[in-house]
Amino acid sequence: MTTTRFAPSPTGRLHVGNIRTALHNWLWARKTGGRFLLRIDDTDAERSEERFVEAIRADLAWLGLEPDAEVRQSARFALYQARFDALVAAGRIYPAYESAQELDLKRKVLLGRGLPPVYDRAALRLTAAERTALEAEGVRPHWRFRLDHDMPLAWDDLVRGPQSFDPATMSDPVVRRADGSWLYMLPSAIDDIDMGISHVVRGEDHVSNTALQLQMFQAMGATAPAFAHAALLTGAEGKLSKRLGSLGVDHFRATGIEPQAVRALLARIGTSDPVEPVAAMAPLLDGFDFARFGRAPARFDEAELAQVSARIVHQLPFDLVADRLPAGMDHAAWAAVRPNLERVADAADWWQVIEGPLAPADLAEEAEYCAQAAAVAEALDWSADPWHALTGALKASTGRKGKALFLPLRRALTGRDHGPDMAALLPLIGRERTVARLRAAG
């Protein structure tokens, strides 16, 4: 079974890049009839906060990306320790005693010589007596995974195509700190094995991590999952943008963006498919394919997102927005104003136009026309189509047509030059308010 996972660290709020990764994992799992898991990577006890765990869950729920199960790395330390001990016994993980300052000096020396800053494996040359002496002095080792330089690091990436790294050009990665805490790569690989992850879907900034993790899977006797590394997002200006790190669900909700718009945009940018204002998941699932993603950075534009969101608002049924509308606003009112909204919250402005009170329009030059319109409106049969009955009668009696006929009426009745179809709006305003507004304008 296809099994994907989204693995955020609860050290802050999700940003748009995280959301895109979660969406891609969810889409691939649902498209293939598989499972989508949430893994909370909370091994960093000092920086992880429960409030961020709750926020991650809430953000995924708002986006409609409910996981099938959730696991937390902080509850899995015994599993990590068992795998760690086995790898130490097999000689694939070894202790290293250099301080951060010593390692930094080594890197600077190599760079100064024009060489890649690859760890020299000095720790492997220590004798047992030398290690014992260092530990007697209070030096606590960090732990590195020993790469097999004879085993090429290669895979066929679902987005990037064939990938290959020479392990001899890479440092043995540190997998555990001197204080016993875990770094990302080994626990992640252990979890992917234990959770049966079939596809690891993440950003291209993890490509080198994947190369290193391939040997970790092999060392633990496991088949590596398939990998898909999507190109990173860039801002509208075409460059990597720090602002993208601050854009998340809180921002989208505050600016009135619909979750369906976030999904519609993030599912398609970076692919050869057009971004469309689809409110349902089905079209996104049908078209989702890693082969459609390009290697060029994916351009995220807030203005485009707002446009997609507005077009989705125009599709939303009353039942999906009722709890966000002003008290008393019903199906008919929503249907009338929806085509003119950019955000659901803007419906409140039009409800105020409908219900009033409304400041009298300044139409002194149209006073006689508005007074005549008030008289006609008062005598109309309002059970059918009062707007066309009103304008038809006024056209016949005044000879007006076009803007001269319609615009003064719209201004007198709504205080605005543009807006929803008056044929839909006028029955909501009703006879009493219509007559009163026309009289006030006249």
- Residues placed in the known binding site: 242
Rg (CA), the chain: 32
Angle at Cα 256 formed by Cα 252 and Cα 260, nearest 5°?
70
CB 231 within 8 A of CB 295: yes
Quote the CA–CA distance of 41 and 81 in Å, as a whole number.
Answer: 16
DSSP SS3 for 156: strand
Give the annotated binding-site residues for ATP: 242
Q: How far is CA 376 from the centre of its chain?
A: 53
Quote the CA–CA distance of 107 and 105 in Å, as a whole number.
Answer: 5
Contacts within 8 Å (CB) and 24+ apart, 206-210: 207/157, 207/160, 207/163, 208/165, 208/170, 209/184, 209/185, 210/155, 210/163
CB 413 within 8 A of CB 354: no
Angle at Cα 103 formed by Cα 98 and Cα 105, nearest 5°?
125
Q: What tokens does 169 get?
A: 């050009």
